[in-house]
Amino acid sequence: MRNHARDAGLENAILVNTCAVTNEAVRQARQSIRRAHKDNPAAKIIVTGCAAQVDPEMFGAMPEVDRVVGNHDKLKAETFNPVSLLGGTEKVRVNDIMSVTETAGHLIEGMEGRARAYVQVQNGCDHRCTFCIIPYGRGNSRSVPAGEVVEEIKLLTASGHSEIVLTGVDLTSWGEDLPGQPKLGRLVQAIINQVPDLPRLRLSSIDAVEIDEALFDVVTSEARIAPYLHLSLQAGDNMILKRMKRRHSREDAIALCERLKSARPEIAFGADIIAGFPTETEAMFENTLRLVDDCQLAYVHAFPYSARPGTPAARMPAVNGAEIKARAARLRDKAAQALSAHLDGMVGRIDDVLVEKTNFARAGNFAAIRLPENSAPRAGALVNVDISGHDGRQLIGTLV
């Protein structure tokens, strides 16, 4: 977007790419817009992203905003033509995202200087979990064909990236809209086979119930795939999972984690979990808390439930706000204990880690590692470190 705006002569415009995932994200977007206008009163402000897609009129009504652009158009060069973008009086330029069937390929030049490169292979989501606003910002699921993904990863690998992360809104639904409906496992296997120089491939968040056998096999047998999976679990109580319209049970989640761990013991898991979903009782919440141990989670991203207007869950009987906060705090405490126990298990090991900046790296299993100041080579290098301890959040390591 920055490049398109610059090429169109709009380098002084301010682009605000909003997030819709929680009410807090939307509040912060509005605050950033007001602050940007105060700091640069003469600059044009163009707002896009998921929150703008979901509620374009709300952003269009802000006096600080010059234009609101939809998620599909934001990556097209022609959108930034100053005459068509800023001409006329119509502030809101947002189409129906549900009609979009193509996925914009990601720009390679946008990745330079980062330790890892992110390749978006899928966008949108066909599910309608009752708490989630994302499909209304991103539209229905669509995938980038395997050949294009492999070519992009070849280029990124040749330009020196040691780690590639495959991303998508609902990554495990990759392929459903492609001829022959290939599964994600086939894409991952193709990348591993056809890009032999790629040192490490990582998967971003995946839906536990949608892991196909080929994906299970390649993740558990291929050393170049980072031994870490971030699972979209959301809750550990079956009634809440049903009310969320998730497609797995707590037993499915536990069985999957056990199978993965026994096939590849070094694998670590992270998960997104919501505390205080509507109708959640103390007993239901305790089932969710227990999932941290039962699934052997190392990282828990704890979200206090926040009602998104327009979603079915927003109309369900709510847990009171203080209780939601208290449960989220309990979940975060549990997560801290789980992380500390996970890090305990890594002390004394030698691991190959990806340097992100001079004194910070990440292991294949996603553990954060603090390195002595100025000890590490360039960001993006894969190096071996000796892990001597941890502070509860990060490992402490030295180069070997």
Residues in contact with ligand SF4 by CB under 6 A are 125, 127-129, 132, 134-135, 169-170, 232
User: How many angstroms separate the Cα of 363 from the Cα of each of 200, 262, 314, 350?
Assistant: 11, 20, 39, 10
On whether the CB atoms of residues 380 and 199 are closer than 8 A, the answer is no
Supply the minimum distance, in Å, between the C-beta of residue 31 and ligand SF4.
Answer: 25
Supply the minimum distance, in Å, between the C-beta of residue 216 and ligand SF4.
Answer: 19
Q: Minimal CA–CA distance to 278: which of 169, 140, 81, 131?
A: 131
- Comparison of 186 and 245: residue with beta carbon closer to ligand SF4: 245
On whether the CB atoms of residues 14 and 88 are closer than 8 A, the answer is no
On whether the CB atoms of residues 364 and 226 are closer than 8 A, the answer is yes
Residues 228 and 202: their CA atoms lie apart, in Å, by: 8
Residues 251 and 254: their CA atoms lie apart, in Å, by: 5
Q: How many CB atoms lie within 10 A of CB 266?
A: 15
Supply the minimum distance, in Å, between the C-beta of residue 208 and ligand SF4.
Answer: 11
- Comparison of 127 and 224: residue with beta carbon closer to ligand SF4: 127
Supply the minimum distance, in Å, between the C-beta of residue 132 and ligand SF4.
Answer: 3
Supply the minimum distance, in Å, between the C-beta of residue 170 and ligand SF4.
Answer: 5
- Comparison of 170 and 351: residue with beta carbon closer to ligand SF4: 170
Please give the structure tokens belonging to residue 36. 């940007």
Supply the minimum distance, in Å, between the C-beta of residue 207 and ligand SF4.
Answer: 6
Phi, psi of 251 (to 5 degrees): -65, -40
- Comparison of 307 and 326: residue with beta carbon closer to ligand SF4: 307
- Comparison of 134 and 144: residue with beta carbon closer to ligand SF4: 134
Supply the minimum distance, in Å, between the C-beta of residue 247 and ligand SF4.
Answer: 8
Supply the minimum distance, in Å, between the C-beta of residue 264 and ligand SF4.
Answer: 25
- For 152-166, b/e burial (b = at least 16 CB within 10 A) is bbeebbeeebbbbbb
Residues 261 and 7: their CA atoms lie apart, in Å, by: 49
- Comparison of 82 and 309: residue with beta carbon closer to ligand SF4: 309
- Comparison of 71 and 232: residue with beta carbon closer to ligand SF4: 232
Please give the structure tokens belonging to residue 383. 């190096």
Q: For tokens 């789980």, name the residue.
A: 338
- Comparison of 5 and 134: residue with beta carbon closer to ligand SF4: 134
- Comparison of 80 and 136: residue with beta carbon closer to ligand SF4: 136
Q: Minimal CA–CA distance to 134: which of 181, 163, 161, 173?
A: 173
Supply the minimum distance, in Å, between the C-beta of residue 22 and ligand SF4.
Answer: 12
Q: Minimal CA–CA distance to 355: which of 331, 375, 328?
A: 375
Supply the minimum distance, in Å, between the C-beta of residue 4 and ligand SF4.
Answer: 26
89, burial (CB in 10 Å: exposed 0-12, middle 13-18, buried 19+): exposed
Q: Minimal CA–CA distance to 157: which of 188, 192, 190, 197?
A: 197
On whether the CB atoms of residues 324 and 278 are closer than 8 A, the answer is no
- Comparison of 128 and 325: residue with beta carbon closer to ligand SF4: 128
